[in-house]
Amino acid sequence: MIIIGIDPGIAHLGYGIVKKVHGKKNKLQAIDYGCIITKPDLTDGERLSRINNELNKLIKKYKPDIMAVENIYFFKNSKTAMPVSQARGVILLTAAKKKIPIYEFTPLQIKMDVCGYGRAEKTQIQKMVKILLNLKKAPQSDDAADALAAAICCANFLKNKIAIQNLGGQRKT
């Protein structure tokens, strides 16, 4: 199973692609990660188009089974609320057009899952992503680290959902 994690943004959109390693219980491997960067001198439409095009290239290259998207409910800066929401719309539409199931997680859920603490700092997330994915060094970009963390959180969520179903229980998301 391949999961693409996305940390939405209009200027810097973080992405992280992980896959479950066959034969290794609960082991994930990072395939790729980085940022889709749009320049501020572009129009909003041009920036959103670039996000769509680059995301389509990643989907074509890695063929993810699932997309995990960080869901932002609260914006520290009201100026970024609309552009980030527009970028999220493009992300969700791109996945839907490719028929990729989408799982959304709040920053609190992701931090709790990856770090065990919902108020974890960016450096803590980077360190835990490095450890959990057995990377040689932590991702330098906060956005890429957050995207990888979203993918890890999704993998853990799906593993737990399957375990609950195997026990005969049903859990609604």
Q: How much of the chain exceeds pLDDT 70, in percent?
A: 87
> What tokens does 125 get?
């997330």
Confidence of residue 93 (pLDDT cuts 50, 70, 90): very high
User: Which of the following is catalytic: 54, 113, 143, 146?
Assistant: 143
Q: Which one of 7, 54, 113, 146 is the catalytic residue?
A: 7
- Residue 34 · residue 149 · CB < 8 Å: no
For residues 42 and 50, the answer to whether their CB atoms sit within 8 Å is yes
- Identify the pLDDT of residue 74: 60
Q: What is the pTM of this model?
A: 0.90
φ, ψ for residue 75, nearest 5 deg: -115, 125
3-state helix vs strand vs coil in the chain, percent to 5:
50, 20, 30
Report d(CA 92, CA 101) in Å as an integer.
10
pLDDT one-digit tens code per residue, 59-89 = 999 999 999 999 976 656 667 788 889 999 9
pLDDT of residue 94: 97
CATH classification code of 2-166: 3.30.420.10
User: Is 7 labelled as part of a ligand binding site?
Assistant: yes
Instruction: Provide the phi-psi class of 99: left if phi over 0, else alpha when psi is between -120 and 50, else beta.
Output: left
Q: What pLDDT sits at residue 24?
A: 64
Q: Is 7 a catalytic residue?
A: yes
Over residues 37-64, the pLDDT tens digits come to 999 999 999 999 999 999 999 999 999 9
Q: Do the strands 28-37 and 12-20 form a parallel or antiparallel pair, or are they unpaired?
A: antiparallel
What are all long-range contacts of 40-44, with beta carbons under 8 Å and residues at least 24 apart?
40/11, 44/10, 44/83, 44/86
Q: What is the mean pLDDT of residues 16-24?
A: 86
The one-character DSSP state at 72 is: P
| pLDDT (mean) for 16-34 | 88
Give residue 22's pLDDT band: very low, low, confident or very high (50, 70, 90).
Answer: confident
- Known catalytic residue at 41: no
Please report, for the chain, the start and end positions of each structural domain, with discontinuous segments joined by +.
Answer: 2-166
pLDDT at 80: 74
Mean of the per-residue pLDDT values of the chain: 90
Instruction: Please give the pLDDT value at position 171.
Output: 47
Which two tokens mark 121?
């700092």
Q: Is 54 a catalytic site residue?
A: no
